[in-house]
Chain A
């Protein structure tokens, strides 16, 4: 049973536009959420996170929104750049000392 879902395997966006990557989770005990970015032949790198006590966290072009009642989070990239083309993994954990559960990833292509 997949606890973290990313229902869009891929997404294409024009350069300069907004990219919105979605993530749904099933475990209401999750209290911390992360996004990782992965280029081919490299390991994932941490991008941004959000605690369940917040509903928004912003870091430059990247903003993560959390809707706890809907068990949904999204990553917004504005403006999108070709270098943002990568696989984005949504992840979640219950407590600081619990394992991180990753979603299957969404492949983003930003078209110049």
Chain B
């Protein structure tokens, strides 16, 4: 069956530009997560969605980061005025419910020049 998909797979942008990263979760999964993996670091939690609402956005590093989820499905992570320190692999995961196993997408590698 279809897994979690993310697009684009790679994104190179210039400092100061805005970027949008997309996540298509597994159909029927109500929980959706965004993580970030910087070079040499673990997976850093960014935000969790239950349906279309985000009860936990404690990991968003600054107000330049925002995310939304529509129709209980697709989610978009937006980074405004990108900085070089935003360069990382952004991973999306989904699960049936919060307590269930998370299934990850392949990630989007963001490079900010």
A residues neighboring B (CB under 8 Å): 2, 4, 6, 9, 36, 41-46, 49, 89, 91, 96-97, 99-105
Contact = CB atoms under 8 A, between A and B. Distances in A.
Contact of A45 (B48, B58, B104, B107): B104
Interface in B73-113: 91, 93, 98-99, 101-107
Given A99-B56, A104-B40, A46 B102 contact: yes
B34 to A, nearest CB: 11
Interface of B: 4, 33, 35, 40-45, 48, 56, 58-59, 91, 93, 98-99, 101-107
Contacts of A91: 43
A89 B56 contact: no
Contact of B99 (A42, A89, A97): A97
Contacts of A49: 101
Contacts of B33: 99
Contacts of A41: 106-107
A50 to B, nearest CB: 13
Contact of A44 (B43, B45, B48): B43
Nearest to A44: B104
A55 to B, nearest CB: 21
